Amino acid sequence: MKRIMLGVLSLLVVMALASSCAPKKLTQEDIAKEKKAVESVAINYSKLVAAKNTDGVLGLFSNSPELMVLGTDSAEVFKNKVQMKSLLEVDWQLSDITKVGVLQNVSILISNDGGLASMLYEVPWDLNLAGQTSHVLVRYAMTMVKENNEWHIIQLLCQMATVGQSSEDMLEQLKNVKK
């Protein structure tokens, strides 16, 4: 009898240890909270860029060696904050963002353990470049990691959307040329 009780007790201890080591799965309420936190990083990013706040922008990014940023130009590939700082300082001299719009077409995914987030979104900007103001639609793909209980961008892809260059538009243009 003592042996059976000791076996049952051992089994319970092993089960308790195993369950405490398993990653915690987020509840729907936790996921909703994390999505709001991730979205606030994206909103803050646009505001800091518009304010030309280099330190603020860089503070949103991870210090991980896995950091990667792909900009709108093919030469804009950045793998650390020093490279990013150089780009930002050039960008600040070239243009002014006079108005930041509201995020739209937002899609956020949170990992089951709450340590990784993926976000796609668009944000309209009014951009003044060389005295000309343009309304642009900037699209982002961001991956964020949780570091010290805060979300930090570890991967960023930035693209400015064009108008009239969809596959359908290009096919229509091609048909008109062939006529």
Residue ranges per structural domain of the chain: 25-165
Residue partners of 107: CB distance under 8 A and separation at least 6: 119, 120, 121
Report the first-to-last Cα separation within the chain, whole angstroms.
Answer: 94
The one-letter amino acid code at 51 reads A
Give me the residues of the chain with pLDDT under 50, please: none
pTM attached to this predicted model: 0.81
- pLDDT value at residue 164: 72
- pLDDT value at residue 21: 57
CA distances 94 to 114, 127, 146, Å, are 38, 10, 33
Q: Residues 140, 161: contact at Cβ < 8 Å? A: no
The pair of three-digit structure tokens given for residue 111, joined into one six-digit string:
């990992």
- pLDDT value at residue 1: 61
- Secondary structure in 3-state letters for 141-154: EEEEEEECCEEEEE
HSE-CB of 75 using CA atoms within 13 angstroms:
1
Class of the CATH-defined domain 25-165? alpha beta
- pLDDT value at residue 67: 97
- 19: helix, strand or coil: helix
- pLDDT value at residue 16: 56
- pLDDT value at residue 100: 94
